[in-house]
Amino acid sequence: MENLALIDSFSEFKDDKLIDRVTLMAILEDVFRNALKKKFGSDDNFDIIINPDKGDMEIWRRRVIVADDDLDLENEEITLTEARRIEPDFEIGEEVSEEVKLIDLGRRAILALRQNLISKIHEHDNTNLYKQFKDLIGEIYTAEVHHVRPRVVILVDDEGNEIVLPKEKQIPSDFFRKGDNVRGIIENVELKGNKPQIVMSRTSEKFLEKLFEQEIPEVFDGLIMVKAVVRIPGEKAKVAVDSYDDRIDPVGACVGMKGSRIHGIVRELGNENIDVINYTTNNQLFITRALSPAKVSSIKIDEENKRADVFLKLEEVSKAIGRGGHNIKLAGLLTGYELDVIREGVIAEEEDDVELTEFSDEIEAWVIEEFAKIGLDTAKSVLKQDVADLVRRTDLEEETIQDVMRILKEEFEG
């Protein structure tokens, strides 16, 4: 019973682990063989018999009987006198099998065995955990906030597995407290030493795509396909959808009556503005749809350089560009084209207008970029605006805008 009692003491914590008794016995055999190698130099003449059902294990040492005067005994040899203490009628040359009690290995060896066993079980758990979450990459997962740090949120799932949600994988408006349930996708699993690090993301396009699968039955059933997703997390997203069944309106099915179906997704993403558009292989039509809510007059596509000139009436330019330039940026990412906005209806007296970039020696590049984001890329297009309105629509201070106005006026007054 000594071996059984020791095995039970070693495996007392196994119920807390995702490990079955058969696997535990295999790990035990490996650990004990290593211990035998350390003590005797080899484990070749040891038989380890395991009974997983009983949780019992026996270790038998095989040795050949040699004469008492053989002073240079090997691990595999035993003297005749010692052998006859086991069985009185043994003779030289015969093989003796003797059971080894774990307690005979000594207290220090048993403590080392226990430590080695714990290490091996952790290694087994980590390998299984790595495989388990490797298969979940790209899938939605829910875990509870355990600890909030400045650069990362530590989550724990129902099985006690630790998952990290880095700051850059969080939506800017995300705010978490201990105990909150958090949804995201498993984006990556890396082995850090022997321990797997599981990384969650809420900013990935895949997360939005998977939310469509979860929240919209027709997408889950495959009746509607999500063809492409682009996002500026927490701000705006565009999703192109399609259906092989002409009777199904993919956009209507995804949005729902008065936005009822998409509302849950928008809320999950911190009120991210989501445009759902019909996918098409007609590039001109796809670009037109991608620039919604702006109404496009015409498009000239350069397929070789993947560029497109988009012609819009003056009142449609700001809609096409969108707040912070988000709309035109996402439309370009969705369609795969670099989009250039061309304003229509420029009257003759404005033909002497000057591009804002011509003032780069007097106006800083980032300031010019701020104007470009709202569709203002010439001197006269800026001068026609109201200063208060520009303060509201850009990230520029009133003083900066006044300076720009002064520089531009001097150009035309001179």
Measured distance CA(171)–CA(169) in Å, rounded: 7
Residue among 189, 112, 180 at smallest CA distance from 147:
180
Structure letter (DSSP) for residue 296: P
Residue 270: φ, ψ to 5°:
70, 40
pLDDT per residue as tens digits for the range 134-159: 889 999 999 999 999 999 999 999 88
Confidence of residue 13 (pLDDT cuts 50, 70, 90): very low
Ramachandran category for residue 276: left, alpha or beta (phi over 0 → left; psi -120 to 50 → alpha): beta
Ordered DSSP codes for 95-143: EEEEEEPGGGG-HHHHHHHHHHHHHHHHHHHHHHHHHHHHTTBTSEEEE
Q: What is the mean pLDDT of residues 240-245?
A: 91
Measured distance CA(96)–CA(90) in Å, rounded: 8
Place of tokens 């035993």: 78
Measured distance CA(107)–CA(114) in Å, rounded: 11
Say what the pLDDT of residue 195 is.
78
Q: What is the mean pLDDT of residues 52-58?
A: 65
Whether the CB-CB separation of 306 and 340 falls below 8 Å is answered with no
pLDDT, averaged across the chain: 84
If one compares 36 and 363, the residue with the highest pLDDT of the two is: 363
Say what the pLDDT of residue 43 is.
83
Whether residue 347 has pLDDT greater than 50: no
Say what the pLDDT of residue 330 is.
95
Say what the pLDDT of residue 412 is.
73
Ordered DSSP codes for 228-275: EEEEETTTEEEEEEE-S-TT--HHHHHH-GGGHHHHHHHHHTTS-EEE
The neighbouring-strand residues paired with 218 are: none
Q: What is the mean pLDDT of residues 259-269?
A: 91
Structure letter (DSSP) for residue 161: -
SS3 162: strand
pLDDT per residue as tens digits for the range 350-377: 556 788 888 888 888 888 888 888 878 8
Pairing of strands 56-66, 77-79: parallel
Say what the pLDDT of residue 4 is.
46
Say what the pLDDT of residue 388 is.
85
Q: What is the mean pLDDT of residues 274-278?
A: 94
Confidence of residue 348 (pLDDT cuts 50, 70, 90): very low
Say what the pLDDT of residue 1 is.
37
SS3 93: coil
Express the helix, strand and coil content of the chain in percent, nearest 5 each.
Answer: 45, 25, 30
Whether residue 184 has pLDDT greater than 90: yes
Whether residue 344 has pLDDT greater than 50: yes
Say what the pLDDT of residue 137 is.
92
Percent of the chain clearing pLDDT 70 (strictly above): 86
Give 360-368's long-range contacts (Cβ < 8 A, gap of 24+): 362/407, 363/404, 363/407, 367/396, 367/400, 367/404
Place of tokens 């001068």: 383
pLDDT per residue as tens digits for the range 191-238: 776 678 899 999 999 999 999 999 999 999 999 999 999 999 999 999
pLDDT per residue as tens digits for the range 91-134: 888 888 888 777 667 667 667 767 777 777 677 667 777 788 88
| Least confident span in 52-56, 104-108, 401-405 | 52-56
The neighbouring-strand residues paired with 60 are: 47, 99
Confidence of residue 241 (pLDDT cuts 50, 70, 90): very high
Measured distance CA(329)–CA(126) in Å, rounded: 42
Say what the pLDDT of residue 134 is.
87
Say what the pLDDT of residue 178 is.
93
